[in-house]
Amino acid sequence: MAVPEGLSKIFKYVDSNKSRFIDTLREAVAIKSVSAWPDQRGEVKKQMEWAKVRLEALGATCTLHDVGQETLPNGSKIPLPPVLMGQLGNDPKKKTVCVYGHLDVQPALKEDGWDTEPFVLTEKDGKLYGRGSSDDKGPVIGWMHAVEAFQKTGKEVPVNIKFVFEGMEESGSLGLEDLLKAQKDKFLAGTDYVCISDNYWLGKKKPCITYGLRGICYFFIEVECCAKDLHSGVFGGTVHEGMADLIYLMNTLVDNKGKILIPGLMEQVAPVTPEEEKLYQNIDFDVEDYCKDLGHDRLVHHNDKMNTLMARWRNPSLSLHGIEGAFSETGAKTVIPRKVTGKFSIRIVPNQTPESVTKVTIDHLNKMWEKRGSPNKMKEVTGKNVMLLPMGACDDGAHSQNEKIDIRNYIEGTKLLAAYLHQLAEV
């Protein structure tokens, strides 16, 4: 494919700086910016400051915005990591694009099943393994390198850029919405386009553009059975154990084929039309390869491409994520936990609203709890023109063990971001 006019020097610069760009990603991956680990909150802040220094080196004017505190399950409070807002260029004759990304990552431990240390970027067979390499540190750094390529080749950055980088995306983007609303007519004023590179190709070879995402409703179910943890050898069989109640409730949400068991939840989902079914026929997607990448023996919809894609895209899904308060370390511990919290989420689709999904879910849980007849305490709490331009491939394993980004995607993706900025100026 011919290189667009005016971009050949930029692409050559990216290629010639591949090793240094990989080293930059290595620096970022080494920072354990896990937003779900309260004891690592300082690392998340360090990561935001790291990004600020690099944006300022490009000439951007940057501010780290305080977005308040987070209340932990035990009632204590810790500061939320700041949101980084930076502006590069303020030429009224140019278009302005707002670039969003996040620098926090999912939890990762070697003992979880990683083949390499998750916070040490490791190159193997043309792939870069490390937590955050694909989600979302690699793409965020790609934006920085794209801007650098314009500057170092003597070319003017063709658009004004407003950067919004956060450190809580993997934990619900706490504090971001209020900040964006407050900055709507200030920092964000004059924005013509928004671009997000926190998504993935459908396959491994063919780039794609994401034009829609399912929404999410996140739920916590808390069950409390007693005032303190108990020894099962002494108290087992005499108390209504909260863990058993919680597992009972979570087992009423979804069956072993992925069918959501909450009455009324599917009523607002738009029915599939024949025209829609035809759209799936020519999509480049290999179900067997998808299944192999997952390391799974059999998918819910077997080798049915259309139903598998619909399950990923156009139908709601319910996933159970974990139990907090339960013993989860290695070895044996005969404790009856005094309080446990189950976590699950529902991915919602067009025609569904968070309000309607929340209502039917809470109604269902309350009904099942009444049926359970437990004396324990149960409460539930609901957590809460854009271009999505992917850099990573379908098998990057963003929230899994051995997360990686292909060097090809990292370098060619950086070129793509530069080309996107170039094309915006031509629109």
As given in the structure block, the two tokens for residue 253 are 């949400």
Return d(Cα 172, Cα 175) in angstroms, integer. Answer: 9
- 8 A C-beta contact, residue 225 and residue 240: yes
Distance between CA atoms of 6 and 39, rounded to whole angstroms? 47
Whether 311 and 205 have beta carbons less than 8 Å apart is answered as: no
Residue 104 a catalytic site member: yes
Q: Cβ neighbours of residue 33 under 8 Å, at least 6 residues apart?
A: 40, 43, 44, 46, 47, 103, 104, 105, 132, 167
Residues in the chain: 427
Active site residue 395: no
Q: Which of 70, 136, 148, 169 is catalytic?
A: 169
User: What number of H helices and E strands is found in the chain?
Assistant: 12, 17
Let me know: does 416 contact 410? Beta carbons within 8 Å. Answer: no
CA-wise closest residue to 32 among 118, 115, 114 = 118
The Cα-based distances of 197 to 61, 72, 172, 419 in angstroms read 22, 30, 17, 14
How far, rounded to the nearest angstrom, does the alpha carbon of residue 72 sit from its chain's CA centroid?
A: 21
The C-alpha atoms of residue 166 and residue 163 are separated, in whole angstroms, by 10
**Coil/strand/helix, residue 292:** helix
- Cα 34 to Cα 39: distance, rounded to the nearest angstrom: 9
What residues are paired with 158 via a beta bridge?
Answer: none
Q: What is the rounded CA–CA span in Å between residue 137 and residue 28?
A: 7
Query: What torsion do the CA atoms of 31, 34, 38, 39 make, to the nearest 10 degrees?
Result: -30
Are the CB atoms for 104 and 33 separated by under 8 Å?
yes
Of the candidates 70, 104, 198, 396, the residue annotated as catalytic is: 104
Contact 393, 116 (CB under 8 A): no
What is the set of active-site residues? 104, 169
